[in-house]
A and B are shown apart, each in its own frame.
Chain A
Amino acid sequence: MTDHSSDIDSVSGKSTTGHEWDGIKELNTPLPRWWVITFYLTIVWSIGYWIVYPAWPLIASNTTGLFGYSSRADVAVELANLEKIRGDKMAALGTASLADIEKDPALLALARAKGKTVFGDNCAPCHGTGATGSKGYPNLNDDEWLWGGSLDQIMQTIQFGVRSGHAKTHEGQMLAFGKDGVLKPDEIVTVANYVRSLSGLSTRNGFDAAKGQKIFAENCAACHGDAGKGNQELGAPNLTDKIWLYGSDEASLIETITQGRAGVMPAWEGRLDPATIKAMAVYVHSLGGGK
């Protein structure tokens, strides 16, 4: 490298780098000394950092640093502190009865806040963020409940689930009357139309109401009741109201009767602590549909 320090620009009095374009020379303006020193200091600092903190990835793990620092451990400490701060109130959620929680404005607010968060994390994938459900997943805002809408019933459903495999789970299912050969296709069409007539929906031309009623009484009434009002003990929905989990059109009903229905909800006992399950029960109940 050539030394250009002797090549002085006459206007500014500064030395040049020796680079020249069309007669214009580049002035030599080195980085300020303090900047360079700071830059080297950061390099020295980074070496210290590598030694003290976890830094280098190894094949199966990584260097742990002198003090074994871990940001995950920090988070654990923070979370423990949070639990400590919330301790009293969360304990109150655990001990108070569901009805008392709903009557105490402070506990209700706490349960709703907690319930909403936990609902978003655990329930929203099926029931939706607003608990509005979708086809096959019940809307929890309305007043139609397969397994009961009282605080205790909601809590039981959350705890043990539906057809979840838990020992105390809700059992019972809609049989596949068509697939299993119990009813013939024309009988299924007839009973589907009969079910529609129960809630005042239109029926197919030439539909034989008496025949439909007979088929219903022989096959469906055991669970859904003689009048089709359903049975919450068995999770059999009310067929006379305006809410349909799988759709109320004839095709959907034929599909339901032919294939059967058996939606599944997991049991949350053991996955969520009891206070949280209580909070969630109160939250779901307070959405508006609770009995």
Chain B
Amino acid sequence: MNKTVNPKDLISGDDYGPLYAARKKVYPQSVSGTFRRIKWGLMAFCLGVYYFLPFVRWNRGLGAPSQAVLIDLPNSRFYFFFIELWPQEVYYFTGLLIVAAIALFLMNSIGGRIWCGYLCPQTVWTDLFYAVERLIEGDRRERMKKDKSSDPMKLERISEIVLKHSIWLLIAWWTGGAWVLYFNDAPTLVKELVTFQGPMLAYVWIGILTATTYVLAGYMREQVCTYMCPWPRIQAALTDEWALNVTYRYDRGEKRTSVKKAAELRALGQPVGDCVDCYQCVAVCPTGIDIRNGPQMECIQCGLCIDACDNVMTKIGRPKRLIGYDNDINIHRRQEGKAPIYRIVRPRTVAYSAIIAAVGGFMTYTLASRSLLDVNVLHDRNPVAVKLSDGSIRNAYTVRLLNKSGYDRAIAIDVEGPVNPTMHVVGVDSATPDRPIIVIRRDTTSELRLLVTAPADNNPEKSIPVRFHVMDIGLGVAATATDNFVAP
């Protein structure tokens, strides 16, 4: 006989239970202070750059795009002010990504999650959406009350909700709209978009980014940071004991009690903390946590709790910065009566700065010294070599000239390698047949069929290295490609 087993008995301890916790909606309260001002400033700067950069013009001469920052996909060109990159130069972005990553590390080792708290698009747009929400629906308490209320909605409330979502959608739509402007001439595209003559793909992308902005900043908010983003996990591995993080300075004492009680205790010389348990730091927190519980993964370190706490401390006449950028080392030092020490310069930050400088310097050097004239050669495969009626050997090559500069070039081609070579470019009648001159237009490539002939007697080897020198006859700029000259 089978013994009846309850499957739940087979699972022991903490493994059993719901894996999903419902979100507790966060209602951050408005706050003013130093960090709020910094955040407003950075928000204005970041959004300003994002929304208006496509309209910045940059003169590159006639026939070239006049947009400062442009990703020209149909012509496969990337423009950034004075820099123009071709598809084969995308590797520069590798350097850019390395610099970006190390810059994040550096920020992290100096001031914690500066990126998360001030610069990350998720933070910036969520902050903006909260500002709209606050403007229309009121501050924390009002919003909580309105959400909780079970009364049937009145016209005023309905119009509030409609207005809020309309403004949100407008911002989201503008966000998507600005995105597509980076891929086409902005003024032209705006004109096309408003007259409904824009490319379908532009409308699709605007739609996609409108949706993501609206959903990520309007609804998902801090959940993006807590559940979707890998950075909070990574940054735990990057921080060290010297890094400054938004910290509750528990060296300022316990216990936490009311202002009045604290004054009494203090008068009696008994231990008491500066914290008055007002929960202002929790009320303003956009991720809904209590910073006094110590460093937490959810904390994006936006510094708003510092502002909230400073305001309270000022009011009750206690020193500011009960919450501030600090670390455990200094808390312990103060507890021991020593002066705090801040070490911004330490091996970690020096190493990060050095890597940034090295990679940045290398990129700048390679970018500045890259050749704007290039040549690629491809040997014919079928046939590899041809024997001519007088017994000499001819090899055919496909030569591609690249003119990355903003002006036309006259290019002379020389061949070096086989003994007594003669050269012919198909379709080109040159005044100097052995040194053909090719005109190549600005910012284009040109493909040529080049025939090299050499007497077999003088070139008895099966394969001879051959070099093609191309030279701008006006400017003297040169480039070289190598291949082989093969006997049949």
Instruction: Give the docked Cα–Cα distance between A104 and B320 (Å).
Output: 79
Q: Say yes or no: A10 contacts B4, CB within 8 Å.
A: yes
Mask for B386-402, Cβ within 8 A of A = 1, else 0?
A: 11111100101000000
Cross-interface CB contact of B426 among A102, A132, A238, A243, cutoff 8 Å: A102
Known: A10-B4, A286-B427. Contact between A242 and B383, CB under 8 A?
no
Q: How far is the CB of B137 from chain A (nearest CB, A)?
A: 41
Q: A139: CB under 8 A from chain B?
A: yes
Q: Is the interface of A mostly helix, strand, loop or mixed?
A: loop
Q: B88: CB under 8 A from chain A?
A: no
Instruction: Give the docked Cα–Cα distance between A137 and B429 (Å).
Output: 31
Can you name the residue of chain A whose Cβ is closest to the Cβ of B456?
A: A242
Give the contact stretch, choosing among B158-166, B217-225, B443-451, B470-478: B443-451
Q: Say yes or no: B4 contacts A132, CB within 8 Å.
A: no
Q: Say yes or no: A142 contacts B389, CB within 8 Å.
A: yes
Interface size on A, residues (CB 8 A): 28
Q: Say yes or no: A142 contacts B388, CB within 8 Å.
A: yes
Instruction: Give the docked Cα–Cα distance between A139 and B396 (Å).
Output: 15
Cross-interface CB contact of B390 among A102, A108, A241, cutoff 8 Å: A241
Q: How far is the CB of B444 from chain A (nearest CB, A)?
A: 11
Can you name the residue of chain A whose Cβ is closest to the Cβ of B426?
A: A286
Mask for B417-437, Cβ within 8 A of A = 1, else 0?
A: 000000010110100000000
Q: Say yes or no: B396 contacts A287, CB within 8 Å.
A: yes
Q: Say yes or no: B427 contacts A141, CB within 8 Å.
A: no
Q: B270: CB under 8 A from chain A?
A: no
Instruction: Give the docked Cα–Cα distance between A143 and B381 (Å).
Output: 19
Q: A129: CB under 8 A from chain B?
A: yes
Q: Say yes or no: B396 contacts A144, CB within 8 Å.
A: no
Interface centre among B7, B382, B388 (most CB of A within 10 A): B388
Can you name the residue of chain A whose Cβ is closest to the Cβ of B428?
A: A103
Q: How far is the CB of A231 from chain B (nearest CB, A)?
A: 15
Instruction: Give the docked Cα–Cα distance between A105 and B438 (Å).
Output: 11
Mask for A256-280, Cβ within 8 A of B = 1, else 0?
A: 0000000000000000000000000
Q: Say yes or no: A238 contacts B5, CB within 8 Å.
A: no
Q: Is the interface of B mostly helix, strand, loop or mixed?
A: loop
Mask for B255-298, Cβ within 8 A of A = 1, else 0?
A: 00000000000000000000000000000000000000000000
Q: A109: CB under 8 A from chain B?
A: yes
Q: A47: CB under 8 A from chain B?
A: no
Q: B149: CB under 8 A from chain A?
A: no
Q: Say yes or no: A238 contacts B389, CB within 8 Å.
A: yes
Known: A11-B5, A129-B382. Contact between A142 and B387, CB under 8 A?
yes
Instruction: Give the docked Cα–Cα distance between A142 and B429 (Å).
Output: 20
Hey, which chain B residues are within 8 Å of A103, CB to CB?
427, 429
- In this complex, the interface size class of chain B, counting residues with CB under 8 Å from chain A, is 20 to 34
Mask for A2-15, Cβ within 8 A of B = 1, else 0?
A: 00000000111000
Known: A103-B429, A105-B446, A108-B426. Contact between A132 and B382, CB under 8 A?
yes
Instruction: Give the docked Cα–Cα distance between A32 and B61 (Å).
Output: 66
Q: Say yes or no: A141 contacts B4, CB within 8 Å.
A: no
Q: B2: CB under 8 A from chain A?
A: yes
Hey, which chain A residues are within 8 Å of B446, CB to CB?
105
Q: Say yes or no: B391 contacts A242, CB within 8 Å.
A: yes
Known: A241-B390, A287-B396. Contact between A141 and B426, CB under 8 A?
no
Q: A130: CB under 8 A from chain B?
A: yes
Instruction: Give the docked Cα–Cα distance between A288 and B384 (Å).
Output: 12
Known: A11-B2, A132-B383, A286-B449. Contact between A143 and B426, CB under 8 A?
no
Known: A102-B426, A103-B429, A287-B396. Contact between A141 and B386, CB under 8 A?
yes
For window 237-265 of A, CB contacts with B under 8 Å fall at 238, 241-243
Cross-interface CB contact of A142 among B4, B386, B426, cutoff 8 Å: B386
Hey, which chain A residues are within 8 Å of B389, CB to CB?
142-144, 238, 241-243
Hey, which chain A residues are within 8 Å of B2, CB to CB?
10-11
Q: How far is the CB of A107 from chain B (nearest CB, A)?
A: 9
Can you name the residue of chain A whose Cβ is closest to the Cβ of B380?
A: A130
Interface centre among B387, B389, B446, B451 (most CB of A within 10 A): B389
Q: Say yes or no: B447 contacts A141, CB within 8 Å.
A: no
Q: Say yes or no: A105 contacts B383, CB within 8 Å.
A: no
Q: How far is the CB of A116 from chain B (nearest CB, A)?
A: 11
Hey, which chain B residues are within 8 Å of A286, CB to CB?
426-427, 449
Can you name the residue of chain B whose Cβ is closest to the Cβ of A285?
A: B426
For window 1-28 of B, CB contacts with A under 8 Å fall at 2, 4-5, 7
**Cβ contacts A to B, 27 pairs, < 8 Å:** A11-B5, A11-B7, A102-B426, A102-B427, A103-B427, A104-B427, A105-B427, A108-B426, A112-B449, A130-B382, A130-B383, A132-B383, A141-B386, A141-B394, A142-B387, A142-B394, A143-B388, A238-B389, A241-B389, A241-B391, A242-B387, A242-B388, A242-B390, A286-B426, A287-B396, A288-B396, A289-B386
Binding site for B on A (CB under 8 A): 10-12, 102-105, 108-109, 112, 128-132, 139, 141-144, 238, 241-243, 286-289
A-B interface, 3 closest residue pairs, ranked by CB to CB distance from nearest: A130-B382, A241-B389, A141-B386
